[in-house]
Structure 1
Amino acid sequence: MTTSNALDPAQLARLQNLVDSGVLREDQREAVVAALEAGYREDRAPLVRRVLPEVAGYVGGALVVAGATLLLGLAWEDLSRDARALILAVTSLVLIIAAVGFAGGVRALPSNGGSARQRLGAVLFAAASVTIAFAAGSFASSEQAMWAGLAGLVVAVCAYVAMPALVTLSAGAVMSVVAVAGTLGELNVAEEFLAVGLVVLGIGWLVLAARSILAPAWAGFLVGVAIAVIGSQLGLGADSEAWAYSLAAVVAVACFVLFAATRSPILVIGGVLATALAVSEAVWHWTGGAIGGAAAVLIAGTVLLVGSAVGLYRARVDE
Structure 2
Amino acid sequence: MLDETQLGAVVTALAKPEPRPTPARLLAEIAAYAGAGLLLSGLVLVLAESWDDMAKLGRFVLFVLVAVGLTVAGVATAGGWSALFRPAWSRSAPAGHTARTRLAAVFFALAAVSIAAAAAAILDDGNDTTDLTWVYAAVAGLVAAIAGYAALPSLLGLLLCAGFSAAAVSGLLDEVLGVGDLTGPGLLVLGFGWLGATRFGAVLERWAGYAAGVVLAVAGAQAVDPVDRMWPAYVLTAVVAVVCFAIYASDRSWVLSLGGAAALTLAAVEAVVDWTGESAGASGAILVVGAVVLGIGSYLLTRSAKKSVER
TM-score range, shorter chain: 0.7 to 0.9
| TM superposition shift of 1:268 | 0.5
Change (3 A) 1:51 1:309: closer
Q: In structure 2, what residue type is equivalent to 1:101?
A: A
Match of 1:198 among 183, 187, 204: 187
Match of 1:188 among 158, 164, 178: 178
What CA deviation, in whole Å up to 9, does each residue of 1:58-77 have, x standing for no partner?
22222332222222222222
| TM superposition shift of 1:165 | 1.6
Worse-matched range after superposition: 123-132 or 82-91: 82-91
User: In 1, are the aligned partners of 2:120 and 2:137 still within 8 Å (CA)?
Assistant: yes
Match of 1:103 among 42, 66, 78: 78
Q: In structure 2, what residue type is equivalent to 1:102?
A: T
Change (3 A) 1:63 1:236: farther
| TM superposition shift of 1:317 | 4.9
| TM superposition shift of 1:235 | 3.9
Q: Would you say 1:87 and 2:62 are equivalent positions?
A: yes
Match of 1:276 among 250, 262, 265: 265
Q: In structure 1, what residue type is equivalent to 2:70?
A: L
| TM superposition shift of 1:150 | 1.2
What CA deviation, in whole Å up to 9, does each residue of 1:123-178 have, x standing for no partner?
11011111211221222235222211111111111111111122222221222222
User: In 1, are the aligned partners of 2:73 and 2:107 still within 8 Å (CA)?
Assistant: yes
Match of 2:32 among 57, 60, 65: 57
Q: Look at both structures and tell me which one has the larger radius of gyration over its CA atoms.
A: 1
| TM superposition shift of 1:205 | 1.5
Unaligned runs of at least 5 residues, structure 1? 1-42
CA distance in 2, matches of 1:315, 1:45: 43
Structure 2 residue matching 1:77: 3-state secondary structure: coil
Aligned to 1:133: 116
| TM superposition shift of 1:245 | 1.0
CA distance in 1, matches of 2:41, 2:192: 35
Q: TM-score, structure 2 length as denominator?
A: 0.80
Tell which has more relative contact order, 1 or 2 (C-alpha 8 A, sep 6+): 2
| TM superposition shift of 1:194 | 1.5
CA RMSD of aligned residues (A): 2.4
User: In 2, are the aligned partners of 1:232 and 1:244 still within 8 Å (CA)?
Assistant: yes
Q: Would you say 1:121 and 2:104 are equivalent positions?
A: yes
Match of 1:71 among 43, 46, 55: 46
Change (3 A) 1:271 1:76: same
Q: In structure 2, what residue type is equivalent to 1:190?
A: G
Aligned to 1:24: none
Unaligned runs of at least 5 residues, structure 2? 1-18, 126-130
Q: In structure 2, what residue type is equivalent to 1:163?
A: L
Q: In structure 1, what residue type is equivalent to 2:22?
A: P
What CA deviation, in whole Å up to 9, does each residue of 1:65-107 have, x standing for no partner?
2222222222222223332222222211111111111111212
Aligned to 1:47: 23
Q: TM-score, structure 1 length as denominator?
A: 0.78
User: In 1, are the aligned partners of 2:112 and 2:144 still within 8 Å (CA)?
Assistant: yes
* Number of aligned residues: 275
Aligned to 1:37: none
Worse-matched range after superposition: 286-295 or 237-246: 237-246
Q: In structure 1, what residue type is equivalent to 2:178?
A: N
CA distance in 2, matches of 1:98, 1:318: 56
Aligned to 2:282: 293
CA distance in 2, matches of 1:301, 1:168: 38
Q: In structure 2, what residue type is equivalent to 1:96?
A: T
Q: In structure 1, what residue type is equivalent to 2:118?
A: A
Q: In structure 1, what residue type is equivalent to 2:113?
A: V
Structure 2 residue matching 1:289: 3-state secondary structure: coil
Match of 1:210 among 195, 199, 206: 199
Q: Would you say 1:315 and 2:304 are equivalent positions?
A: yes
Match of 1:151 among 119, 140, 147: 140
Q: Percent of pairs identical after alignment?
A: 39
Worse-matched range after superposition: 228-237 or 80-89: 228-237
